[in-house]
Amino acid sequence: MSRPPALDNPGESPQPELRGLYVYAVVIHIQSYTDADDIVEIAGVYMNFKDAVTRLKNQRLTIEDGFVVAHDAESRDRYPFCNRIRELRKEDETLIGWGYHWWRYGELDNRVWIRKTKLWPRSDENFGVDELSDDELQELGAEGDIDYVAYGQGPPGGF
């Protein structure tokens, strides 16, 4: 009787049905001056990355319809990802995912992002945010940007 091959990663199983799988959660986080509780919700969880990117962009356009224009140099520098999907981090540089980050009057920070994580069968361990593959990063670049459309004008300065 043959023995199963040695595992390089103790979290992996020689049985394919027990291996972890990647999922992509689309997360919405809106902070308001008037509401003591932040609004954090999961807009969906997807096994297909392209579906997650489509949902992410649609959620951003539902919350803030169209191209977000910076009001001044400070807001442009502080919120450079209001129209383009980029890597988002907390102030302590912890990665939270890839998405949009903008400000609107009456609210603090607004973020909508994709969080890639691996689910493991028969385990409740949280392994944090996983890095995107090159193909996934290319998909973000191809599908994620919000276009500026104003009668043939180019984007406003700084974007």
The secondary element (H helix, E strand) that includes residue 60 is helix 49-63
> Across residues 9-32, what is the average pLDDT?
70
Please list, in sequence order, all residues whose beta carbon lies within 8 angstroms of the beta carbon of residue 98, skipping any fewer than 6 positions away.
Answer: 85, 86, 87, 88, 113, 114, 132, 140
pLDDT at 153 over 80: no
Reduced DSSP (H G I as helix, E B as strand, rest coil) percent helix, strand, coil of the chain, to 5: 20, 30, 50
> Across residues 41-59, what is the average pLDDT?
91
> What is the residue-averaged pLDDT of the chain?
75
What type of residue is 68? Answer: V
Helix, coil or strand: residue 59? helix
pLDDT at 15 over 60: no
pTM of the model: 0.64
- The alpha carbon of residue 130 and the mean position of all alpha carbons in its chain are separated, in whole angstroms, by 11
Helix, coil or strand: residue 100? strand
Helix, coil or strand: residue 148? coil
Q: Which of 3-17, 29-43, 80-94 has the highest mean pLDDT?
A: 80-94
Domain ranges of the chain: 17-143
Would you state the pLDDT for residue 90?
82
Report in angstroms the alpha-carbon separations of 10 from 2, 20, 107: 19, 12, 45
Phi, psi of 99, rounded to the nearest 5 degrees: 180, -155
